[in-house]
Amino acid sequence: MHASLFTWRGGIVDVIAIFDAGTALAYRAPLPQGGDPFDPIRVTWAFAGEPIWAIRGVLALPEPGGHGEPVFVQTPPPLCAGLAELAGQNRVIRPPTS
C-alpha cells in the first residue's frame, strides 16, 4: 500500500491511498488540529476505484475556497475508516522537496 497526502491551508487534506493495481481510495477531509489525516472524522469528497481514476479525481478538485469546491460534509465511507489501521503506526511521512 502507498498513501500520499497534501495539506492545504485551513486544515484541509487531500489523501490518496493505492492498495493494489485495481484498488485505490482518494478523499478530501477537513482535519481538526492534531487529527489523523488517515482516519478522517468527516470528508467532503471521496472516491474508491481504479488508481488512475482516484488520482485524476483528487487532482481535479478545486483548491479549498475555489469555485466548485466540494463543501458537503459527510461521514467517510467504510474504506476510509480502515485506512488508519492499514497504515499502522510505522508510517514514513516525508515532506515534499523544495
Q: Can you tell me the mean pLDDT for 41-69? A: 95
Q: Can you tell me the mean pLDDT for 52-75? A: 95
Q: Can you tell me the mean pLDDT for 69-93? A: 77
Q: What is residue 94's predicted lDDT score, i.e. its pLDDT?
A: 61
Domain assignments of the chain as residue spans, ordered by start: 2-87
Question: What is the rounded distance in angstroms from the CA atom of residue 58 to the CA atom of residue 17?
Answer: 11
What's the whole-number average pLDDT of the chain?
Answer: 87
- The string of pLDDT tens digits covering residues 7-46 is 999 999 999 999 899 999 999 999 988 888 888 999 999 9
